[in-house]
Amino acid sequence: MSNFTKAGTFALGGRAVNRMGYGAMQLAGPGVFGPPKDRDAALAVLREAVASGVNHIDTSDFYGPHVTNQLIREALHPYPDQLVIVTKVGATRGADASWNPAQSPAELTSAVHDNLRNLGVDALDVVNLRVMGDVHAPAEGSIEPQFTALAELQQRGLIRHLGLSNVTATQVAEARVIADVACVQNHYNLAHRTDDALIDELGRHGIAYVPFFPLGGFTPLQSDTLSDVARRLGATPMQVALAWLLARAPNILLIPGTSSLAHFRENLAAAMIRLDKDALAELATMGANA
């Protein structure tokens, strides 16, 4: 097991997972659509992740679609007891690679069964309701019908734990009345800090917060401040951005994604970086206007 485990653990789906996990989205083809460019390399990344001690993998059956779940099953099934696989439902992919809402109870039920089949399991560890909102930004509105549908599938034993993605604080509160929420997955990083208050509130309730686009997303984080801090620490800017997230709050779990073994190892090494007060103060300026 690698030294990245020194970053500690946090509860997810009833189990303690290492705070540095792995996101499988980039294993699919360009635009998260179609098969990977190099299937053997994709399988190798998954196998090394688990061999290294990663025990939290994030995926969805609409990545590909179906591609990443099928790769996870091929690479890792039967799954280690300590591995928590988190998937999400709430969207489908069009033939043109578009992302389309699929939020009705019937569509959510169908998606859960797709995930069960493609992952090769009888019950899913954690299922996030991916609220479409403004695609990559949340929008207010009741999620009661959708979350209730998933809670009913949980009661039937098809889902062990429930989570939320792309949601507001109001929607989190609404969902918690219906069923326990294990995690919230929203857009958050050094430069995009809208969820600061939500992260702290979730932490007080023992709920994990999992940032998507931790490195900026389709437009990677670029900042002279970030580059200066990284140069001083002998790290890459992206490693510093991940280290900042780990330092931000103990309930933050990271799922940086890559299809490259070298990049995967670089991401894990970010967990060993310790940011001093000067570095944290400099990096704080990046989110001053967020």
Average pLDDT over residues 205-230: 88
Average pLDDT over residues 209-221: 83
Checking if the pLDDT of 1 tops 70, the result is: no
Query: Which among 22, 63, 188, 209 is annotated as catalytic?
Result: 63
- What is the greatest pairwise CA distance in the chain? 53
**Whole-number pLDDT of residue 141:** 96
Confidence band, pLDDT 50/70/90 cuts, at residue 222: confident
**Whole-number pLDDT of residue 218:** 65
Asked about 79 being catalytic, the answer comes back as no
DSSP 3-state assignment of 237?
A: helix
Confidence band, pLDDT 50/70/90 cuts, at residue 2: low
Checking if the pLDDT of 243 tops 50, the result is: yes
Q: With beta carbons less than 8 A apart as the criterion, state whether 178 and 147 touch.
A: yes
**Whole-number pLDDT of residue 290:** 46
**Whole-number pLDDT of residue 216:** 82
Average pLDDT over residues 119-142: 93
pLDDT digits (tens, 9 = 90+) for 148-182: 999 999 999 999 999 999 999 999 999 999 999 99
pLDDT digits (tens, 9 = 90+) for 75-108: 999 999 999 999 999 999 999 999 999 999 999 9
Q: Give 174-225 as a DSSP string.
A: HHHHHS---EEEEE-BTTB-TTHHHHHHHHHTT-EEEEESTT-TTS----HH
Checking if the pLDDT of 289 tops 50, the result is: no
**Whole-number pLDDT of residue 171:** 98
Determine the Cα–Cα distance for residues 100 and 112; give it in Å rounded to an integer. Answer: 16
| % residues pLDDT > 70 (the chain) | 97
Checking if the pLDDT of 135 tops 80, the result is: no
Determine the Cα–Cα distance for residues 45 and 75; give it in Å rounded to an integer. Answer: 9
Average pLDDT over residues 247-274: 96
pLDDT digits (tens, 9 = 90+) for 50-67: 999 999 999 999 999 999
Tell me how crowded residue 17 is: count the other CB atoms within 10 A of its CB: 21
pTM score = 0.96
Confidence band, pLDDT 50/70/90 cuts, at residue 194: very high
> Taken in order 106, 107, 111, 114, is the CA torsion positive or negative?
positive
